[in-house]
Structure 1
Amino acid sequence: MKNSFKILLVLLFISQAVHAQSNVTLYGIIDDGLTWSSNQEGHDAWQMQGSISQGNRWGLRGVEDLGGGLSTVFRLENGFNGNTGTLSQGGRLFGRLAYVGLQSDRYGALTLGRQGEAIGDYIGVLSANGMLPGGILFPHPGDLDNNGVDFHLNNAVKYVTPTFDGLTGVAIYSFGGVAGNVGTDSAKSFALQYATTGFQVVGAYTSIDHPASAVPEGVWTASNTVDGNYGLAAGGYKVFGLATSYAFDKAKVSIDWTHTQFGDLDPSLGAKIGGHVTFNVGEIVGAYMLTPTLQLGAAYSYTEGDVSATGQRPRYQEVDGSIDYFLSKGTDVYASATYMRAGGGAVADLAPVLSASSSENQLALRIGMRKRF
């Protein structure tokens, strides 16, 4: 009887120790507000929209300490429409993220599942979309480079190196899953980042085979007049980006640039032209904490395209401004303004959030509230 009692105490101790070494966190973001736009297909409009400053989500992330500096990690992240209660990301239950893997202090992290690609994850956070509460109303035109994280990669293997003197590397490969041809609908993505106190610089690259079928929940629809048809018709999609930021005192400034190419266009799939189309985007962003609870922000971006088959050079200039007031660490209210002027035969189009303007100009004003938990 005494031995049985001792064994019971040992088992209870072990179970408590195992429980103490595991950590699961529930988290989420809810954003909602009102948006007014000056011109959508020839008319102004009021819309109630969520997932603007950040995508609405709830998720579970966990870490289990296996000892010796090795841990099991997992993450399940759902995206949803806060105004209708429906699922986002093409109706997927965990459409934002769903992965499991191992993390080592010495060797880095290896994860498997549905994950983000490097442009959105590393360049996007240093752009107006990532730094200011305008969010997806402040993306590069048409979110043509996934700067606003409008798609994720299925069947992805991701490796993140340990950080050496501020330097971190990332490599991602997404299996296409097409029998007999492993390259079809596959994707590759890489990033190299250097970060130290107040300063950060990063380079990233993503390549996707047949993007419309590889990432079908993306922004490539005919209603996106910037690049929708090019994405639908492309046999290949490539993006290279650079970004840097510097924080000092109450201010933070960042600069980013991306080069995007839609290649091997199939005229029968929407573009109506062959060849390739490229876009270059340059952007500068600034944020300033006027008080500990009030942030002011502004950004400017210039985008120029090149349509090889026709010689057209669509251009987009965008000016963004925002005011963000923090009611607490987890709750803020904000106001934002976005103005786009197009040229080179293009019309203004703040896709994927709004429908295209009937002219070269489009203005969007928004008031919103965001809650993080």
Structure 2
Amino acid sequence: MNKRLVVLLGMSLVSSAAFAQSSVTLYGIIDDGLTWTSNQGGKSAVQMQGSISQGNRWGLKGAEDLGGGTSAIFRLENGFNVNTGTLSQGGRLFGRLAYVGLSNDHYGTFTLGRQGEAVGDYIGALSANGTLPGGILFPHPGDLDNNGIDFRLNNAVKYVSPTIAGLTGVAMYSFGGVPGDFNKNSAKSFALQYVGGSLQLVGAYTSIDHPATAVPEGVWTPNNTVNGNYGLAASSYKVLALAAAYTIGSARFTADWTHTQFGGLDPTLGAKINGHVTFNIAELVASYMVTPTLQLGAAYSYTQGNVSATGKSPHYNEVDASVDYLLSRATDVYASATYMRAGGGAVADLAPVLSPSSSQNQLALRLGIRKRF
């Protein structure tokens, strides 16, 4: 009887220890505020908008220690519209992220599910969109390179290496799921990051086959004209990107460059022309912590496009200034001003959350509050 009691007590202690080594965390971000725009379709507008500084979300993430430096991990992340209560990301319950996998201290992390691609996750994090509270009002024009993370990849297998001498590698593949055509609707994405002291360097690449059907929530729909006279429905989509960040005291400077190509434009896919369209985008960002609770930020980006079928070269100059004040570690209020001037036959179109201007110019002013939990 005493032996049985000892065995049961031992099993209970082991079970309790196992549960103690598991964790589940609830987290989220709620952003809301007012945006004034100088010109949307020829008229000014005042709108209450959420998900500007960061996308509104709530999520669950967890890890279970399996021993030997290995953990089972998962993450489920929901996106929502704070002003209407509706789901974002096309009405998906966990449209931002949904994956499960294994992580090992020595061999890296392997995950399966719906996940972010490398350009948005790594280059976007160093851009004005990822570092200043103007957020989604300052993505690259039309979010052509997914700098603002307008899409994620479904059916994705992702590997993140351990960090060795400051270097971390990322590789992922998204299965297209088309019977008899393994490549159709598939996607590949890679990144290499170096972090050493005050310096951070990142390179990333993403390629998607038939993006309009592989990732329908992206920017390649026929009504995304960018320069007013062609759609971006293509048979292929490729982005090559580089970024760097350097911190000096209370100041941080970042720079990024992306090369985006929509290849095989085809009217049967919804495009208005044949051929291909390319965009080169360069951006500089600076931020400074005046006090531990007050940040000032500024950014500039230039976009140069080329339309092979017409020879047109749409281009865009964009500037941004912001003030961010921390009420606490989890709550801040901010103000931002963003201005775009388009050329080469293009009209100004600051962000997917706004309608295009009827002219070459568009200005957006924003007051917002952001709460993290």
TM-score interval (norm. to shorter): over 0.9
> Which whole-Å CA distance do the structure 2 matches of 1:311 and 1:188 have between them?
30
What is the match of residue 98 of structure 1? 98
SS at match of 2:36: strand
What is the match of residue 110 of structure 2? 110
> Which whole-Å CA distance do the structure 1 matches of 2:244 and 2:22 have between them?
36
Pairwise CA distance, 1:211: 0.7
After TM superposition, list the pairs within 5 Å mapping 1:123-162 onto structure 2. Answer: 123-162=123-162
* AA at the equivalent of 2:251: A
2:230–2:272 contact (8 Å) kept in structure 1: no
SS at match of 1:233: coil
What is the match of residue 203 of structure 2? 203
2:220–2:234 contact (8 Å) kept in structure 1: no
1:229–1:270 contact (8 Å) kept in structure 2: no
What is the match of residue 332 of structure 1? 332
1:322–1:334 contact (8 Å) kept in structure 2: yes
* Compared CA separation, residues 109 and 175, structure 1 to 2 (3 A): same
> Which whole-Å CA distance do the structure 2 matches of 1:280 and 1:194 have between them?
23
* AA at the equivalent of 1:40: Q
Q: Which blocks of at least 5 consecutive residues in structure 2 are unaligned?
A: none
What is the match of residue 267 of structure 1? 267
Pairwise CA distance, 1:15: 1.5
2:129–2:147 contact (8 Å) kept in structure 1: yes
What is the match of residue 242 of structure 2? 242
What is the match of residue 28 of structure 2? 28
Moved more, 5-14 or 224-233: 224-233
Structure-2-length-normalised TM-score: 0.98
* Compared CA separation, residues 306 and 210, structure 1 to 2 (3 A): same
What is the match of residue 356 of structure 1? 356
* AA at the equivalent of 2:125: V
Pairwise CA distance, 1:308: 0.2
After TM superposition, list the pairs within 5 Å mapping 1:1-373 onto structure 2. Answer: 1-226=1-226, 232-373=232-373
SS at match of 2:275: coil
CA deviation vs aligned residue, 1:288-339 (integer Å, no higher than 9, x gap): 0011100000000000100000000000000001000000111000000100
Pairwise CA distance, 1:271: 2.5
- Percent sequence identity over matched residues? 75
Pairwise CA distance, 1:225: 3.2
> Which whole-Å CA distance do the structure 1 matches of 2:78 and 2:228 have between them?
25
Pairwise CA distance, 1:223: 4.5
Pairwise CA distance, 1:23: 1.1
CA deviation vs aligned residue, 1:206-242 (integer Å, no higher than 9, x gap): 0000111111112334443317986752000000000
> Which whole-Å CA distance do the structure 2 matches of 1:227 and 1:336 have between them?
25
CA deviation vs aligned residue, 1:11-58 (integer Å, no higher than 9, x gap): 220111011111111100000000000000000000000001000000
2:230–2:273 contact (8 Å) kept in structure 1: no
2:122–2:191 contact (8 Å) kept in structure 1: yes
2:160–2:171 contact (8 Å) kept in structure 1: yes
Q: Number of residue pairs matched? A: 373
* AA at the equivalent of 2:233: A
> Which whole-Å CA distance do the structure 2 matches of 1:210 and 1:146 have between them?
16
Structure 1 runs of 4+ aligned residues shifted over 4 Å read: 227-232
* AA at the equivalent of 1:277: V
